[in-house]
Structure formats: structure tokens, C-alpha cells
Amino acid sequence: MSSLSRSRLGRGILLHLFLTPLALIWLFPLWMMVVFSTMPDNGIFSPGIELLPHDGFLDNFNNLQRDTNFVGAIGISVCVAVTYTVLSVLLTSMAGWALARYEFHGKGIVVAIILGTITLPYAVVLIPQFIMVARDFQLANTWIALIVPPLFNSLGVLFMRQAFSMMPAELFDAARVEGVKEWRIFLFVALPLARSMLAALAIILFLASWNNYLWPLLINSQPGAMTAPVALGTLIGLTKVSWGGIMAGAVMLTLPMLVVFVLLQRHFIAGIAAGAVK
């Protein structure tokens, strides 16, 4: 064995020796979430070290359901996230299409303002949004309040603009010569071609809505109108509450997303990495 390949082998081993403990540390909180969700409360609060799951998930789930209507909250979260994703993908890709494929007056300003909002903290719009939705529109504790204000997003539009501007112009010009209307070109030529980008966008938007906390906490604070993260959040810090139940709720919020992540990893990563590719 040459000295070069021996040093390569050494480096390879070193790499795994370093990366494996780090990966285990990174997985540890998720693993403990699962373990806690299967342990009775007196097990969580016992002096022993427990690192393996038990069989108490259903009991914990029942405790959670006793503490708050978590199933109802999950229902709201699912409906809101699905509606939000569909609307947002449509809105975002329409805007991205316009910015990518047409020349129009004010284009530079529109792009500059969208770019500018990336560096602006959400806190700046939070209070007027709240006053407007809760007081002026009287829409607190409705689905509309959860779905509509977060529809604006800047990175998604830039992502779709990028996707559409990479497509060859001849594709669309051919359709135009035949007199196909612009919105039909968008719907039936451009969108199908952008399938994988749309999938990436949809996943990221769904996840954002599913995990959104601050806005739903403020605007939908009535028990029957809470999303699942908000309902779970109300339990954290209470004294007479089942921690096994809270962990069961955390698992129910997290596990479906982890499954989606594993199945659609490519789209997931493309959606997140989109920010860097400009």
C-alpha cells in the first residue's frame, strides 16, 4: 500500500470517528422525545437513566387529550397548512412567472422591495398585522387569520423566478405563435415543467405553516381555534400537566414531518438550499 492511500485510509477513519459521535449527539434530542413519549410520568420523573422506549404512548396520548383537545387542534393545523400551501404555491409561482418572463414598468422596484424584506425582521409588521386582523377585520380565531397574512414570502418568489427564467424561451414562444393565452401557457406549459421546484416549494411552505408558532399564538388564542403547536405550548410550564402527554404531542407534530423528510429528501433539500443559489 502506498503512503498516499494509507494516509487516505487514516483520514477516512478519522472522519468517521469524529462524525459518528456528533451525529449521535444530534439525534439524541429526537430519540429522547420518542422515549419520553412512551414513558409514564412517574418514569420520566424518576432518578434512573432510561434510554429505551416503553409501551405507554397511548396512555400519554389519552393524558394529552385530557389536558387539551389535541386531536381537534391537529385537525385545524392540517386544514390550515394544506390550504395555505396550495394558495401560497399558486400566488408565489404566478409572481415568480411574471418576474421571470415579462418586461414591465416597475419591475426593478418590485424586485428591490421583495429583496429588501429578506433582511427585515418579521417583528416590524407583527403589531399592525395583529391590529388589522383582530380589530379592523374582526378575524381573530378564524382560519382566514391563520392562512392569509403569512401568504407573503420573499424567498419563494425568488426561487420560482429562478426556476422559470432557466426555461428556454422557445418553449413559450411556440405556444404564443399558435395564439395560446398567457395564463394557459403558465398553467399548462410552465407549471408542469417546474414540477420538482413546485414540490420543493410546497414542502417548505407546508412545514412553515405546520410549525408556525408566534402568529397563531397571538391571533388564535381561543381553545377551539388553536393550532396544534399553540395548544401544546399552553401546556408547557403548567404544574399539573402530563409531561408524557406533552411529549406524545411533540412526537405527533414531528414524526409525520420526519417521514416526509425521509421520503422527499431531495425536494426538501432543494427547497432549503434555494436560498443560496441566486
Partner 1 sequence: MRTRNATAYRFLTPYLLIFAIFWIWPIISSFMISFQATRTVPWRFAPAFNWGRLIGDPAFYNALENTLLILVIQVPVMIALAIMMAVLLNSPMLKARGLYRFAFFAPVVVGEVAYSAVFRLMFSLDFGIVNKLLASVGLAKIDWFSNVTPAMAVIMIAVTWRWAGYNAIILLAGLQSIPDDVYEAATLDRVSKLKQFFHITLPLLKPVIVFCAVLSIIGTMQLFTEPFLITERGGPGGGTETLGLLLYRQGFRSLNFGYASAIAYTMAGLAIAITLVQLWLTREPK
Instruction: Classify the C-alpha dihedral 188-190-196-200 as positive or negative.
Output: negative
Q: Smallest distance from the beta carbon of 62 to partner 1, in angstroms?
A: 18
Which whole-number Å values give the CA distances from 173 to 104, 168, 193, in the listed order?
18, 9, 15
Q: Does 36 interact with partner 1 (rule: CB under 8 A)?
A: yes
From candidates 58, 71, 115, 122, binder to partner 1 by CB under 8 A = 122
* Site stretch for partner 1 (CB under 8 A), options 44-52, 57-65, 66-74, 192-200: 44-52
Q: Does 80 interact with partner 1 (rule: CB under 8 A)?
A: no
| H/E segment holding residue 186 | none
Q: Three-state DSSP class for 91?
A: helix
Q: Smallest distance from the beta carbon of 65 to partner 1, in angstroms?
A: 17
Q: Does 71 interact with partner 1 (rule: CB under 8 A)?
A: no
Q: In this structure, which long-range contacts are made by residues 26-32, counting pairs with CB atoms below 8 Å and at least 24 apart in sequence?
A: 30/254, 30/258
Q: Amino acid identity, residue 50? A: E
Q: Smallest distance from the beta carbon of 168 to partner 1, in angstroms?
A: 13
CB nearer partner 1, residue 79 or residue 257: 257
CA atoms in the 13 A half-sphere facing the CB of 238: 15
Q: Does 112 interact with partner 1 (rule: CB under 8 A)?
A: no
Considering only residues 135 through 194, tell me which ones interact with partner 1, judged by CB under 8 A. Answer: 148-149, 151-152, 157, 182-183, 186
**Cell 456528533 belongs to residue:** 22
Quote the DSSP letter at residue 185.
I
Q: Does 1 interact with partner 1 (rule: CB under 8 A)?
A: no
Could you give the string, one character per residue 201-220, with x where binding to partner 1 holds by CB under 8 A and - elsewhere? ------x--xx-xx---x--
Q: Smallest distance from the beta carbon of 165 to partner 1, in angstroms?
A: 10
Q: Does 110 interact with partner 1 (rule: CB under 8 A)?
A: yes
Q: Are 254 and 37 in contact (CB under 8 A)?
A: no
Q: Does 257 interact with partner 1 (rule: CB under 8 A)?
A: yes
Q: Does 243 interact with partner 1 (rule: CB under 8 A)?
A: yes
CB nearer partner 1, residue 59 or residue 100: 100
Q: Does 56 interact with partner 1 (rule: CB under 8 A)?
A: no
Report the distance separating Cα 33 and Cα 226, nearest Å: 23
Report the distance separating Cα 251 and Cα 244, nearest Å: 10
Q: Does 101 interact with partner 1 (rule: CB under 8 A)?
A: yes
Q: Are 96 and 160 in contact (CB under 8 A)?
A: yes
